[in-house]
Amino acid sequence: MPPSARLTLDPAFRIGPVDPRLFGSFVEHMGRCVHTGVFEPGHPLADADGFRTDVLELTRELGVTVVRYPGGNFVSNYRWEDGVGPVHERPARLDLAWRSLEGNRFGLNEFMAWAAKAGVEPMMALNLGTRGVAEALELVEYANHPGGTALSELRRSHGVDKPHDVRLWCLGNELDGPWQMGHKTAAEYGRLAAETARALKRFDPGLSLVACGSSNSGMPTFGSWEAEVLEATYEMVDYVSLHAYYDPTDGDTDSFLASGADMDHMIRSIAATADHVGARLRSKKKIMLSFDEWNVWYQSRFGGESSLGWTEHPRLIEDTYDVTDAVVVGSLLITLLRNADRVGVACQAQLANVIAPIRTEPGGPAWRQTIFHPFALTARHARGQVLRVEPECAVIPTARYGDVPAIWATATHDEATGETTLLAVNRDRNAPCDLEVALPGGMRAVEHLELADDDPSAANSAEAPGRVVPRPGSGARVEGRRASLRLSPSSWNIVRFAPASPQE
């Protein structure tokens, strides 16, 4: 008999509301994310602004709600002024982050126009690496002030009459990392972030600000960095950032499938650190978390920045994702939802071509990678309140994270429709799992889709864009207050329940 598991879905057991900002993405001036990704004048499907309409359509289908821009490492050596005004007058610059040439044909106003067409909220990152408070204020004035000042009138002369009114700002990027232009100690960064935040709040107290947390949990200053930065900025910022990438290339597939355990530990650790600082400061404020870079990344295959040459928009870390990668991405989305009481923003990095759910060819097609599907379905159906779900199941021993639950799951309940959505991953690579779900009364099963394959290395491509897609699972059989279904080995699943009609 296959292993079995049980869980309960009860709308009374709530973690917190699903914040739409959990379904964010990331557009950085890196590789082909911008050029020949979202922006390609002359492409057969480009609109009058040069935006690829096939990528716009896929972005809407993906369900992206917020997009972080323009970096990433790129932002720490970026002059925003280079990307505004007449395109033919914009200077070409060296991008020291990715050793590339940046022609600045796509900048702030182009991004804002693209974001409006995509229907996403902009999340802007400020350069606090090689620049400081004055430059940050100038950018915010250019972007957000209605008119009557030098910078707001400059924006209007560039053809943008109304302010962009960006509400969400990142105070730099990964400044704990020695690879970052303008790398700083926690004390140096905390002072600069506090000065910048204080000035921005004077400009507009309603702005939401994100302080830089650790670049990853392996940093030697992980935890202590956040504590020192928040000591300086606590009352002036609204979020602290987390970043994590998971590399599948060491052959330890069981640990890779358990990547959500590491993400969960990171979230709980930084939430506890923030709360400790708040307690020390006797503050009633709660700092939320912005997990604004996360994904699967075959990082061990990347030769590092020093391996790159000075070229424009090179093909850079264009990872092809398989079924196992998609299952892991689905499990990371589950982890973010399980922590919806603390994670208020999350951005999968990146949107197009660079470790991305959407791939394109210059002048050619765009297609969905395997990781596109769990994101799109979760963004579409995870609504309302996140429910506390704790499966009773077997454990899987892993070299990296110890024993982890074989079933990793969460659920949401939408009071407006009465629909409950279960999201579940079976981490067991070798055996299916028979899952029993305790339900409220009067429910019916609407749909069970799974992402799984007999070949876990199967992937999509320009030639076979539909090789891996969600397919009907076993189906959930409902009898009274119980539903039963089977989860395939190494699979991501979405199961939707709705109120039964009186006849059912």
Instruction: Please say if the pLDDT value at position 501 is more than 90.
Output: no
Residue 74 pLDDT class (50, 70, 90 cuts): very high
SS3 at position 15: strand
Residue 275 pLDDT class (50, 70, 90 cuts): very high
pLDDT one-digit tens code per residue, 347-396: 999 999 999 999 999 999 999 999 999 999 999 999 999 999 999 999 99
DSSP state of 35: B
pLDDT one-digit tens code per residue, 27-47: 999 999 999 999 999 999 999
Enter the tokens of residue 262: 């590491």
- In this structure, the strands spanning 239-246 and 288-296 are parallel
pLDDT one-digit tens code per residue, 452-486: 999 999 999 999 999 999 999 999 999 999 999 99
Q: Tell me the average pLDDT across 60-73.
A: 98
pLDDT one-digit tens code per residue, 419-442: 999 999 999 999 999 999 999 989
Q: DSSP readout, 293-354?
A: EEEE--GGG---GGG--SEES-----PPPBHHHHHHHHHHHHHHHHTTTTEEEEEEE-SBSS
Residue 504 pLDDT class (50, 70, 90 cuts): low
Instruction: Please say if the pLDDT value at position 249 is more than 80.
Output: yes
Instruction: Please say if the pLDDT value at position 503 is more than 80.
Output: no
Instruction: Please say if the pLDDT value at position 502 is more than 90.
Output: no
Provide the residue type at 302 as one letter. F
Q: What topology does CATH give the domain 4-11+386-499?
A: Immunoglobulin-like (2.60.40)
Q: Tell me the average pLDDT across 187-206.
A: 98
User: Which strand ranges, in their side-by-side order, compose the sheet holding 491-499?
Assistant: 14-17, 385-387, 407-414, 419-426, 491-499, 443-451, 471-472
**Catalytically active residues, by annotation:** 174, 293
Segments making up each domain of the chain, as ranges: 4-11+386-499, 19-381
pLDDT number for residue 304 = 82
Q: What are phi and psi of 482, to 5 degrees?
A: -130, 140
pTM over 0.95: yes
Q: Tell me the average pLDDT across 126-144.
A: 98
> CATH number for the 19-381 domain, one of 3.20.20.80, 3.40.50.2000, 3.40.50.300, 3.40.50.150?
3.20.20.80
pLDDT number for residue 309 = 86
pLDDT number for residue 307 = 82
